[in-house]
Amino acid sequence: MSKSSDKKEYARMVSRRSLVKWSVAAGAALGLKPWQVFEALEGSGPGGVAMAADAACHSTNRSVHIVAGTGGFAWFQLLWPHNDVAAAGNANFAFHAPGEQTIAENTDRLLTLGPEAPWKNLNGSRQVTALMAGRNETHTNSPSTSSTINGGISLFAACAAMQSTNPTLVPVIAVDDVGVGNAPGAPNVARVNNGDAIVGLFNSAASRAGSVLENAADAEIYDAHYKALLSLNRMSGRPTSKRSLATGREASALLGKNLANALAPTNADLSRYGVNGATPTKLTNLARTLIVTARAFTLGLTSSVVLPAMKDDPHGAFTNMANLRSTVVGLGGILDAFMGDLQTMDDPACSDKLAEGTVITIHGDTPKNPLNRSGWPDGTPQNSNWLYALGAGHLKTGWHGGIDRNGTVTTFDPATGNPVNASSDSTREAASAAVAYAVAKGDMRRVQDFYDGGDISGIVTPVTL
């Protein structure tokens, strides 16, 4: 094939992707099921089959990256405490419910669950993975060492780069001041002040998408664009919207209006997430952002959201056990409700539910000392840190490494998963590579675009064909 032919095919591919992105969003605004959008694309004229193929099952999973800064990460170790710390039953340790913990069933390695831990209904192969990773970074809202995949390459940006082939309107969204970092091929980050602002983001993104499609240079693709929109309109059963589908710009106005209604949290949503007038702002903000995230995922509008959580500094948490319990109950309940949404909402690319194809990670600046509840000090044994992940079935579950009751820190051998005596900072890149592997649906070749470290087969689950 000549270079000119290559360039023409590349231009056509880009045009197809632009159309697919807009059409998926337009279909969502019109209340169509994803399969109806793909069917309309396939029958929209020359090139329709190729466009429908571009809109089919994503080659990567979606991802949600929760970053708990300013010491707020400490709350999460009450949900998934270190195994030996909880087993010790020591009332001086920073575990609020000694004797009330349970052990997750059928995980690859031991995983202790606090009484308020979410996701207990997940089977062992999809349970939480806890990986010693990075170092203590007290105090910052944008910790990075537990999310570094290689040198200056960020895990979050690497995931967004891999996900950029997905037909989404806005590839990656960052909320508030969380850092996303850099990676080769990563798309531009759309940053918003809070979860509610994601709704407004898609209003403006729709307008930009309309402009892109309206100026498409390829006449054949543009013709298919027009026919696809008319097909979507007929399927939607809303003939009054035909006039607004006459051009991409007019249609995008309808898109923005309808998406705002489709994304905004309702009172019923907030109630389901356990949020009411007495709920602390740190929990309300987390709930609202996750509600919008789940809806944006099921509408096919984005592939990744990086968001803050808690952002408090709970040194005195154990001096008020009633408030501590209320906070942990609220936090676990919000995460459970989010999973409930993912388990019931359709994946816009495949026949699965969103839960089958979503990776969730939780990072922080300092998890605080698990061995001392008095003042809950920021310092951790050997300056250690860790991350939690739900790997959509692609990660070995349970704790990999950890802290024992004597303060001894172990990490893991990435090739075998076995515990070793080393600093958690020594395994940060392997831990991030494992998360990237989960996002890449087990495609190690994609991970190696960003990670040049050693074997990680001891902490990931091999893909079976």
The pLDDT tens digits of the residues spanning 398-436 come to 999 999 999 999 999 999 999 999 999 999 999 999 999
299 lies in the same domain as 388:
yes
278 lies in the same domain as 349:
yes
Residue 319's pLDDT is: 98
Please report, rounded to a whole number, the percentage of residues in the chain having pLDDT higher than 70. 76
CA dist., res. 301 & res. 168, Å (int): 5
Q: CB atoms < 10 A from the CB of 276, how many?
A: 10
Residue 27's pLDDT is: 59
- The phi-psi region of residue 375 (left if phi > 0; otherwise alpha if psi is between -120 and 50; otherwise beta) is left
Q: Confirm whether 424 is domain-assigned.
A: yes
Question: β-strand 112-113 against 409-412: which pairing, if any?
Answer: unpaired
Q: Confirm whether 454 is domain-assigned.
A: no
CATH of the domain at 311: 3.40.720
Residue 343's pLDDT is: 98
255 lies in the same domain as 301:
no
pLDDT-derived band at 242, boundaries 50, 70, 90: very low
Q: What is the pLDDT of residues 308-323, one digit of tens each?
A: 999 999 999 999 999 9
If you average pLDDT over residues 241-258, what whole number do you get? 43
Across 205-231, b (16+ Cβ under 10 Å) vs e yields: bbbebbebbeebebeebbebbbbbbeb
Residue 239's pLDDT is: 45
Q: Confirm whether 462 is domain-assigned.
A: no
CA dist., res. 112 & res. 128, Å (int): 10
Residue 29's pLDDT is: 53
- Contact criterion met (CB below 8 Å) for 367 and 424: no
First vs last Cα of the chain: how many Å apart? 33
Q: Confirm whether 97 is domain-assigned.
A: yes
79 lies in the same domain as 188:
yes
Which of 219, 236, 260 finishes a domain?
260
Amino acid at position 66, single letter: I
Whose CA is closest to 426, among 386, 378, 394? Answer: 386
- Contact criterion met (CB below 8 Å) for 357 and 347: yes
pLDDT-derived band at 101, boundaries 50, 70, 90: very high
- Does pLDDT of 277 surpass 80? yes
432 lies in the same domain as 343:
yes
Alpha carbon 356 to chain centroid, angstroms: 13
Q: What is the pLDDT of residues 358-372, one digit of tens each?
A: 999 999 999 999 999
Average pLDDT across the chain, whole number: 84
Residue 11: strand, helix, or coil: helix
CA dist., res. 214 & res. 101, Å (int): 58
226 lies in the same domain as 294:
no
pLDDT-derived band at 244, boundaries 50, 70, 90: very low
Q: What is the pLDDT of residues 172-183, one digit of tens each?
A: 999 999 999 999
- Does pLDDT of 216 surpass 50? no
Rounded to the nearest 5°, which phi and psi values hold at 110?
A: -60, 135
Residue 255's pLDDT is: 52
Whose CA is closest to 64, among 304, 262, 277, 316? Answer: 304
Residue 224's pLDDT is: 47
Q: Confirm whether 452 is domain-assigned.
A: no
- Does pLDDT of 48 surpass 60? no
| 262 or 303: which leads in pLDDT | 303
Tally of domains in the chain: 2
The boundaries of the domain holding residue 334 are: 62-196+265-447
Residue 364: strand, helix, or coil: strand
